[in-house]
Chain A
Amino acid sequence: MSLPLRDMARSGLLLTAFAVAGALLVGLIWQATAERIAENARQAVLRQIDELVPPDARDNDPYHDMVEIADWRLDPRGPTPVYRAFLDGEPVAALYAATAPNGYGGPIRLLVAVCPNGVLIGVRVVSHRETPGLGDYIDRARSDWIDQFDGRSLDAPPEYFWRPRREGGAFDHATGATITARAVVDAVHHVLDYHRARGSRLLFPDGPRMGQP
């Protein structure tokens, strides 16, 4: 019995050695790339903040004026970063980095810019895994679909119409890709809902309230 036992030990050692070597390689590469990857993600968010609230419409750095909010309406999986933009001390916008959990290809990460009074400035898709060529029309690089949110609010259109046109709602969508549109529309609606219920007061305790634009 001693021979097979020794064989087993040698096989085990060999496997361990390769696992350690593999982990070491991945660890080293991770260390070399982690900073760049985080920077890439940061740049992507910064670019979209600039698109939604241009630098001349604010005088603070929203990226660093960030509050984390945990609410299932914004992201069922964890806290949502919310960036705040101010001009001359007056609140300009809250940018919710909300997530639509029910996209066709998985969660769709959004950046939803809302005025303190609850009017939408605009929405951008930060990352998604929708079907290329079919569900990726939500990406502004692909189509201007996402622009139809500009200027909307909880009352425009009324609650019932916050759904894709196919279901009787007010929002266009690409044929055959309703799930994608529904996920984004729902997520944006959730943000507005949260913003009216709590967000506006929480983020801008000194700013204008809902209903007093």
Chain B
Amino acid sequence: MTQPSYSTITRDGLWYNNPATVQLLGLCPLLAVTGTAVNGLGLGLATLLVLVLSNVTVSLIRDWVRPEIRIPIFIVVIASFVTAVELIMDAWFHDLHKILGIFIPLIVTNCAILARAESFASRNSVPRAFADGLAMGLGFAAVLVLLGAFRELLGHGTLFQQADLMFGPAFADLQLTLFERQGMLAAILPPGAFIGLGLLIAAMNVINQRRERRRRAEAAVQPAEQAGA
């Protein structure tokens, strides 16, 4: 089996096979914590960390894990890392941990992580598994932050409120206030998350289609290139 190139891994994780918008995995935390951009970033980074750690570990042990017990072993690996990350967050990012609450332990049940362990890390070398974890984690975190920013903007009229929870008191001024009055309540509530995610996926599809159309148009002008592709 040929190993995918690093550029393919990166593009898949960030765009073409984005865990949140294309694979539609891990939607429960995605929809639940994206009330603000900072919350999204917090959960995104925690997920990224767990994804990288679990991918590397699964790839390291891929030769001696017997196929019939691989799933329980992956889950033990993932659960251990999630618990470790949760303890670390509770110790060093106490307030953020308080806000994200139940969704940190719930990273264990994020199917995106098990899916990457099963479909990628257990079949590829350690550096590639690392790159995949990084790309997929970044792709997931980017969607969380975008969705959080979108909902925060509509719902609270601010951007990056409570940034101090994450980066320390020096960043309390990072908050951008666009309007003061009460925003759209629906954006903060769960329906806002569904609608926001839907719009995000729609936007990605539009961009993909435009690109596809342009590529076809170029190919039609140069039929020789089409033969090559």
Contacts and interface: CB of A to CB of B under 8 A. Distances in A.
Contacts of B204: none
Contacts of B111: none
Interface stretch (B11-19, B97-105, B136-144, B209-217): B97-105
Contact of A40 (B91, B156, B185): B91
Q: Give the size category of B's interface with A.
A: 20 to 34
Interface in A17-58: 18-19, 21-23, 25-26, 29-30, 33, 36-37, 40, 44
Given A26-B80, A132-B35, A133-B189, A15 B69 contact: yes
Nearest to B98: A127
Nearest to A41: B94
Contacts of B33: 132
Contacts of A15: 69, 72-73, 76
A148 interface: no
A197 B94 CA distance: 37
A22 B80 contact: yes
B77 interface: yes
Given A14-B65, A36-B92, A132-B35, A29 B87 contact: yes
Contact of B188 (A19, A25, A133): A133
A18 B77 contact: yes
A152 B98 CA distance: 29
22 contacts: A11-B69, A14-B65, A14-B69, A15-B69, A15-B73, A19-B76, A21-B80, A25-B84, A26-B80, A29-B87, A33-B90, A36-B91, A36-B92, A37-B91, A37-B94, A40-B94, A132-B33, A132-B35, A132-B36, A133-B188, A133-B189, A176-B185
Interface of B: 33, 35-36, 39, 64-66, 68-69, 72-73, 76-77, 79-81, 83-84, 87-88, 90-92, 94, 98-99, 101-102, 155-156, 185, 188-189
Across the A-B interface, give the 3 residue pairs with the lowest CB-CB distance, nearest first.
A22-B80, A133-B188, A33-B91
Given A29-B84, A37-B87, A40-B90, 13 more contacts: A11-B66, A14-B65, A15-B72, A33-B87, A33-B88, A33-B91, A44-B94, A127-B98, A132-B33, A132-B36, A133-B35, A134-B185, A176-B185
